[in-house]
Homo-oligomer: A and B are copies of this chain.
Amino acid sequence: MERHFDRELNELREKLSSMASLVELMIDTAVKALIERNPELLGEIFNSETEVNKKHIEVDELCLKLIALRQPAGIDLRFITSAMKINAELERIGDQAVNISQNTANLVQQPFFVKLEIIPQMTEVAKSMVKDCIKAFINKDVELAKAILLKDNDLDQQKKDVFKKLISNIIENPAHTEYFIDLLLISRNLEKIGDHTTNISEDVIFMVLGQDIRHHHLFDNHKV
């Protein structure tokens, strides 16, 4: 019985892990479409979204089944309810990648009006946060989860830098306002991806320690 339950928990880990890889690919593809001015890549994101949505429902169903049939307690119960929350966060990371591709759709039709290296840099940070938070979940790694909370501060600062730069671009060149606002929204989408990974990290810490660190002063502003 126990061994069967372990297999089911592994299945859950694998499903969430493959979902995380998929949303990471979506982020990558959306920003690649932007950088390479390649509208064809945008279609791939919508296909991936369908796949993510399918996995989202499967994971939720598996979690409900496990709670109902196995009646877990303690860390097993926290593992499964955390998986449900992480599932929702991953789906929303996918949504942010879709938002990036929507904000990119107009941009790819236009020449480059600004060289903005911070966007690919932010993308790398966001992708690494997605990868790490699932690793932290799988390995029950509290230290890695805490490191993600710190990384999020960098992403927030990068977004602030992008906003500042783009606002001065608009003031200098208001005819391209819409273009700059699309870029500004993309930087915000990337920042939001970071926020979802910090939610996942907090879920991991709660799962492992059985302590709710969300909203505690120690963790305010993610100063851990």
Give the B-binding residues of A (Cβ under 8 A): 50, 53-54, 56-57, 60-61, 63-64, 67-68, 71, 73-74, 77-78, 81, 84-85, 88, 163, 167, 170-171, 174-175, 177-178, 181, 184, 212, 214-215
Say whether chain A's binding surface is mostly helix, strand, loop, or mixed: helix
Question: Are A57 and B167 touching (Cβ within 8 A)?
Answer: no
Question: Are A175 and B167 touching (Cβ within 8 A)?
Answer: no
Within the complex, the shortest CB–CB distance from A169 to chain B, in Å, comes to 9
Within the complex, the shortest CB–CB distance from A113 to chain B, in Å, comes to 14
Question: Are A77 and B84 touching (Cβ within 8 A)?
Answer: no
Q: A81 to B88, alpha carbons, bound, how many Å?
A: 12
Question: Are B167 and A214 touching (Cβ within 8 A)?
Answer: no
Q: A215 to B77, alpha carbons, bound, how many Å?
A: 27
Which of the residues B77, B163, B170, B214 comes within 8 Å of A64, measured between beta carbons? Answer: B77
Q: A68 to B167, alpha carbons, bound, how many Å?
A: 52
Which of the residues B50, B56, B212 comes within 8 Å of A61, measured between beta carbons? Answer: B212
Residue of B with least CB distance to A178: B167
The 27 sampled A-B contact pairs (Cβ below 8 Å) are A56-B215, A57-B212, A57-B214, A57-B215, A60-B212, A61-B212, A63-B81, A64-B78, A64-B81, A67-B67, A67-B77, A67-B81, A68-B77, A71-B71, A81-B84, A84-B85, A85-B85, A88-B88, A163-B181, A167-B181, A170-B177, A171-B174, A171-B175, A171-B177, A174-B174, A177-B177, A181-B181
